[in-house]
Amino acid sequence: MSHTAIVTGGGSGLGYATAMLLAEKGVQVVVVDIDEANGQKTVEDIEKKGVKAVFVKADVAKVEDVKQYVQVAKDTFGTIDYFFNNAGISGSGQPFLNTDVDEIEQIVGINMLGALYGMRFVAEEMVKNGGGSIVNTASSAGVIGQSTVVTYSATKHGIVGMTKSMVAEYAKDGLRVNAVAPGPTETPMVKKYFEANPQMKESAEQGIPQKRLGTPEEVAELVVFLLTSKAAYINGDVIRIDGGFTSTK
């Protein structure tokens, strides 16, 4: 029997890399993204591997859009086994006291409310069906403090708390919830941030003991491991994947 995964932010970066690795393992994928062109491309790339996939355009900050991608998953594949709760944005990188309130609301809406809504409605289906596995995308900024990302950091610390508290409440119902905390990684989101703040890239690379950024594929390997039964006794953990970036913090 095939397993089914929902991947939010599946059109690029960590979401794309994870969706492709899941497909390589025969997992059917519901690709969720606000970018229709990129999301459809992910589906096409998955189908080239002979695996079923479907795209759902959604703004994860809108609860009705979240309910829709859950419904599409149920209608198309029947059950939801895995959920990579990943969609997010970083913001402009401006000092916090220069940040526009609209930007604060946008980051919180996508990163925090979007993740909470996804958890609320996906986990509900999983618990009904005896359990499932969820991986949330936190960040190095979710385990340490970092400048120029105050709002982003607030949401990612929130992801860590959500992860742990869901396990405290629902592990008894067969739910596993973990989080990954990537350091600076070569994703379109991070590249855009570094283009706007070029001094931050050099600072980040110098601050990473391995002296390079991570790759989406490296993070995807960890996510897929945590999602699947090979990690059946890992629950409520937040695993850093950052080349040692936060090791001394």
Rounded CA gap, 157 and 205, in Å?
Answer: 23
Domain count, the chain: 1
Q: Which helix (H) or strand (E) holds 195?
A: helix 188-196
Q: What is the largest CA-CA distance in the chain?
A: 52
Query: Which residues are CB-neighbours of 156 under 8 A, at least 6 positions away?
Result: 111, 138, 139, 141, 142, 181
Rounded CA gap, 87 and 96, in Å?
Answer: 22
Q: What is the CATH number of the domain that holds 226?
A: 3.40.50.720
Query: Considering the domain boundaries, does residue 246 fall inside one?
Result: no
Query: Considering the domain boundaries, does residue 100 fall inside one?
Result: yes
Q: Is there a contact between 15 and 38 (Cβ–Cβ < 8 Å)?
A: no
Query: Considering the domain boundaries, does residue 248 fall inside one?
Result: no
Q: Taking Cα atoms as reference points, which of 191, 91, 195 lies closest to residue 146?
A: 91
Query: Considering the domain boundaries, does residue 22 fall inside one?
Result: yes
Express the helix, strand and coil content of the chain in percent, nearest 5 each. Answer: 55, 15, 30
Tell me which of 69, 152, 170, 193 is the catalytic residue.
152
DSSP three-state, residue 62: coil
The CA-CA-CA angle for residues 31, 183, 105, to 5°, reads 65
pLDDT at position 69 is 98
Query: Considering the domain boundaries, does residue 128 fall inside one?
Result: yes
The type of residue at 89 is I
pLDDT at position 207 is 85
Q: What are phi and psi of 62, to 5 degrees?
A: -110, 120
Query: Considering the domain boundaries, does residue 221 fall inside one?
Result: yes
Query: Considering the domain boundaries, does residue 249 fall inside one?
Result: no
pLDDT at position 111 is 98
Query: Considering the domain boundaries, does residue 101 fall inside one?
Result: yes
Domain region containing 36: 4-241
pLDDT at position 204 is 77
pLDDT of the chain, 249 residues: tens digit per residue: 789 999 999 999 999 999 999 999 999 999 999 999 999 999 999 999 999 999 999 999 999 999 999 999 999 999 999 999 999 999 888 999 999 999 999 999 999 999 999 999 999 999 999 999 999 999 999 999 988 899 999 999 999 999 999 999 999 999 999 999 999 898 877 777 777 777 767 777 788 999 889 999 999 999 999 999 899 999 999 999 999 999 877
Q: Is there a contact between 186 and 215 (Cβ–Cβ < 8 Å)?
A: yes
The type of residue at 196 is A
Verify whether residue 117 is a known catalytic residue: no
